Amino acid sequence: MKRNCRQPADLGVGLVWWPTLDDLCRQDEGLVDVIEAEPETFWLPKSDGRGFRSFLSQALSHLPQPKLLHCVGAPVGGTCPPPDGHLLALAADICELCPEYVSEHLSVTRFRPTPDSSPASAGFILPPLQSQAGVSLAAANIRRRRAALAGIPLAVETPVNYLPPAPGEWPDGVFVAAVAESADCAILLDLHNVLCNARNGRQSVTEFCDALPLERVWELHLAGGESEAGLFLDAHAGLVEPELMEIATDLVPRLPNLHAINFEIMPERVAEVGLAAIAAQLGRMKDLWNRRAANPERHQSPHHSYPSTEPPLSDPAAWETLVGCAVTGLPQPAINDATAAWWRTCTPAIEIYRMLVGEGRASAAIAAARHTTRELLRHYGGARTRDILADHWRRSPPGYTSADEARTLLKFLSEAEPSLPGLADAIASDLADLDKLSALSLT
């Protein structure tokens, strides 16, 4: 395998970290060999608008394990560049935590609602255009990202995609393989994403994995999901189900350069699953780790020829505008007849994406505007509060960070609900808290 980056160390079994998982990460337990963190979830916008301040290294300072960074805020599958200051904040986290490598989603989170508009946040990770143009775009983005971060190794995560296959698009595994080969980068194989795609009518897990250059797989992600409105979601909702463990058991010996296996669970799901059950899950993952390839040179993957087909909607920017506007409720662009026939079949998936965007925005509001949301719930109850939030969401796109989301919501509420008792004080309290945190970012 040709590489322009060094091979990382073997790290072992770990998890994507949240404070609720700290008890499992104690060194004397021996359960967690490596900590993976999502850096952007620990960033705040600076009060002068010039980038972000990260609190990640402080948050992780009590954990001795080696660290990996799994980025969620600026995927490499789209046409929009990262927000101003993103790469500086990420570079600072890299300097502080010295990860063996960084992983990025092969997805899209920002789009232009019109060709001349500034990038807007989609509020959720969306699938990229799977075509030759999409491959070229992603590979160029990866090379630029690697150069901007002083050549640190990058791995791209295999994406989840709730849309039905578009006519002429490249198969999921072939697309990921082509990006990794073209960019000469590693792969973070999220097996749960692949299982979700298969259950939702896309490529089978076997076909997907057989299309990959397996020597490029540096990391596995395992997680649990749940069904919603007829689709199986990568919800990180619980333990790894037996079917996925069986898939991983068969696959791990075929991965000659596997360096880590990480478990993902949302922090709000930890209590219902229980730390004891998660600990047992990590133990089973240790057994998986011990099955990794003993003779790497015998497990090289064959290389495949790539398709010459193209989807009817072949421009990545137009693709992002269509999907981004649909999931955020903005006016959608005109599309050709061939695309329209497929697009009509996407309605259930678009409704799921809209639900996920709404859940993410609600979580951000609760986290960053807690006094205000408490007052809304106290006066109006859950149903009316959800209606107020939905009205706000129809009027403005998602914010990039929780703080951005909260400030936009607070401005909306101060104008829309000026006479609600106690609301003005709650808004002032939340704004003061946000200002206090932002002021820290200038020190």
CATH number, domain with residue 109: 3.20.20.150
Task: Please report the pLDDT score of residue 301 as a whole number.
Answer: 60
Instruction: Write down the pLDDT at residue 2.
Output: 42
- Assess whether 160 and 292 both reside in one domain: yes
Asked if the structure places residue 175 within a domain, the reply is yes
Evaluate whether residue 365 is within a structural domain. Answer: yes
Q: Structural domain of residue 163, as residue ranges? A: 12-298
Q: Which two tokens stand for residue 103?
A: 């992983």
**Do 277 and 357 have their domain in common?**
no
CA atoms within 13 A on the CB side of 344: 5
Spatial CA neighbour of 404 closest among 440, 371, 437: 437
Q: What is the DSSP letter of 329?
A: T
Does the structure show a pLDDT above 90 at 6?
no
User: What band does 3 get if pLDDT is binned at 50, 70 and 90?
Assistant: very low
| Listed residue (213, 221, 299, 214) closest to 260, CA to CA | 221
- State the pLDDT at residue 90: 97
- Same domain, residue pair 224 and 286: yes
Distances in Å between the Cα of 25 and the Cα atoms of 13, 16, 32, 151 are 11, 11, 6, 30
> What is the pLDDT at residue 138?
98
Look at residues 437, 433, 384 and name the one whose alpha carbon lies nearest to residue 410.
Answer: 433
310 belongs to a structural domain: no
Q: Is residue 233 part of a domain?
A: yes
The pLDDT of residue 297 is 53
Residue corresponding to tokens 């099955």: 291
In a domain, 56, yes or no: yes
pLDDT at 438: 66
Domain boundary among 248, 277, 298: 298
Range with the poorest average pLDDT among 18-32, 181-195, 208-222, 234-248: 18-32
pLDDT of residue 303: 63
Residue in this structure with the two tokens 């960070």, named with its chain if needed: 401
User: Residue 190: inside a domain, yes or no?
Assistant: yes
389-400 per-position pLDDT tens digit: 888 888 888 888
- Please say whether the beta carbons of 189 and 252 come within 8 A: no
Question: In terms of domains, do 292 and 388 share one?
Answer: no
Which tops the pLDDT comparison, 152 or 392? 152
Look up residue 233 and give its two tokens.
Answer: 């979601």
Residues 352 and 279 in one domain: no
Identify whether residues 33 and 168 lie together within a single domain.
yes
Closest-CA residue to 358 (of 379, 330, 382, 329) = 329
Verify that 291 and 402 share a domain, yes or no: no
Contact 336, 152 (CB under 8 A): no
- On whether residue 94 sits in a domain, the answer given is yes
Tokens standing for residue 369: 């505007």
Do residues 409 and 352 share a domain? yes
- Do 171 and 32 lie in one domain? The reply is yes
Q: Assess whether 294 and 338 both reside in one domain.
A: no
**Is this prediction's pTM over 0.75?**
yes
Q: How many domains does the chain have?
A: 2
What is the Cα–Cα distance from 422 to 64, expressed in whole angstroms? 45
How far is Cα 136 from Cα 143, in angstroms, rounded to an integer?
11
Confidence of residue 442 (pLDDT cuts 50, 70, 90): very low
**Stretch 177-203: mean pLDDT, rounded?**
98
Q: Are residues 268 and 339 in the same domain?
A: no
Q: How far is CA 420 from CA 156, 183, 414, in A?
A: 48, 55, 9
Based on the fold, state whether residues 271 and 171 are members of the same structural domain: yes
* Residue ending a domain, choose from 244, 270, 298: 298
Q: Region 263-289: what's the mean pLDDT?
A: 96
Domain final residue pick, 275, 298, 321:
298
Q: Identify whether the C-beta of residue 142 lies closer than 8 Å to the C-beta of residue 285.
A: no
Q: Which two tokens stand for residue 149?
A: 């971060």
Q: Is the predicted pLDDT of residue 4 greater than 60, yes or no? A: no
Are the CB atoms for 228 and 188 separated by under 8 Å? no
Amino acid present at 62 = H
Q: Any idea how long the chain is? A: 443
CA 246 to chain centre: 25
- 3 domain-assigned: no
CA distance 351 to 318: 20
